[in-house]
Amino acid sequence: MTDIPGETVLATLRAGVVLLGARDELRYANKAAADLGVVGDGHLDSSVLRGLVSHVRRSGKSRDAELELPRKGGGEAVSVRIRVTALPDDSIVIEAEDITELHRVERVRRDFVANVSHELKTPVGAMQLLAEALQDAVDDPEAAARFTSRIQHESARMARLVSELLELSRVQGAEATPEPVDVDVDRIILDALDRARTGAAAKNIFLNVVGERGLVTYGSESQLATALGNLIDNAINYSPVDTTVTIETGNGGAELTVSVTDEGIGIAEADLDRIFERFYRADPARSRATGGTGLGLAIVKHIAGNHGGRVYVSSTPGTGSTFTLLLPSRTVRSAALAPTEGEM
């Protein structure tokens, strides 16, 4: 067996490793320790860490702790899990593990639970009040009908929220990803249009399909139909009556695009960077009025990522918005693939 020098092994570790001598002099530190901010200029950078070392020397017992250390080069602090251990020769070994991402995920989880609780509390509270009002209006058929309609609206909103939470959980990996297959883009457009026709007809919105036919991508047909359906639903919900929503396809060789363009209210520039966040609403009042949950675009983003693609938006307030799915293409170019126009 080939002997490998210990320092060579330590240098390859992602965890930081520091060795201090009997007088706390720095005898060794690997690159990870320096990158995490545990050491700098030949000594321990953190006064808290120096205190832990002193405690371990006095007690002879190992200590574990979590510290926030300044990030090398500035920026957000690094969260580090530290273990300090005394060796028989009075040396001290310090192990440091970067747990910044774990803390970030935990913050996201807490925020998500808080947002879900808030979103569910609103329709549940509304239904409770409406049920009480309905009970008091048994002798007033007109009022009873009005309260019943509102209860139906709130229950539908809650059902949609629960459904989209389950969908978001699925596309984020709670369930195994379906076996990828070739997906006919024309078919997912037809599927999404079939779901959207009722909402479009209610506002006399024309659904127009242009671009290349016969495009093929690779992945889950049901997920891609959900993503495109969410984009079309958004376009309809945020468009005035008697306008057009256009679905346009294009083939760029290695990638294909499916764009949804509306003639609606548009999105302010300040909101563009956050529009795909869970529960984020650029116009909360309008979103509540249309039954929006703030999850539709987050689902689209995750589905696009699951397929090795992405989604982006361009918008002009007062003019409209275009959301574009960029997906891997498995289409073989053919002269027969001519641009088409009209409602599918």
Q: Is 142 exposed, middle or buried (0-12, 13-18, 19+ CB in 10 A)?
A: exposed
More confident of the two residues 120 and 239: 239
Q: Dig out the tokens for 303 from the structure.
A: 């589905």
Per-residue pLDDT reduced to its tens digit, 32-52: 888 888 888 778 878 888 889
H or E element in which residue 141 lies: helix 141-169
pLDDT of residue 236: 92
CA distance 63 to 52: 7
More confident of the two residues 130 and 58: 58
Which amino acid belongs to residue 219?
Answer: G
pLDDT of residue 209: 93
Strand, helix or coil at 342?
strand
Selection from 167-171, 203-207, 277-281, 330-334 with the highest mean pLDDT:
203-207
On average, the pLDDT of the chain sits at 80
Check whether 117 has a pLDDT greater than 70: no
Quote the distance between the C-alpha of residue 62 and its chain's center: 39
Q: Quick one: pLDDT band at residue 173, thresholds 50, 70, 90?
A: low
CA distance 222 to 188: 8
Check whether 77 has a pLDDT greater than 50: yes
Q: Looking at 131-135, 280-284, 289-293, which range is the least confident one?
A: 289-293
CA distance 114 to 109: 9
Q: How far is CA 96 from CA 28, 65, 70, 106, 294, in A?
A: 14, 10, 14, 20, 39
The alpha carbon dihedral of 44, 48, 54, 58 has a sign of: negative
Predicted model pTM:
0.56
Task: Using alpha carbons, select from 290, 273, 178, 255 the residue that is nearest to residue 224.
Answer: 178
* Helix runs in 30-140, H state only: 31-35, 47-59, 100-136
CA distance 124 to 228: 29
CA distance 67 to 89: 27
Task: Using alpha carbons, select from 211, 229, 217, 212 the residue that is nearest to residue 184.
Answer: 217
Contact 11, 31 (CB under 8 A): yes
* Helix runs in 137-262, H state only: 141-169, 185-202, 221-237
Q: Dig out the tokens for 102 from the structure.
A: 């774990």
pLDDT of residue 114: 66
Q: Dig out the tokens for 114 from the structure.
A: 């808080």
Main-chain phi, psi angles of 255, to 5 degrees: -130, 150
CA distance 79 to 83: 13
CA distance 289 to 9: 61
H or E element in which residue 16 lies: strand 16-20
Residue 294 is given by DSSP the state S
CA distance 82 to 59: 17
CA distance 61 to 174: 41
Check whether 286 has a pLDDT greater than 80: no
Average pLDDT over residues 130-147: 81
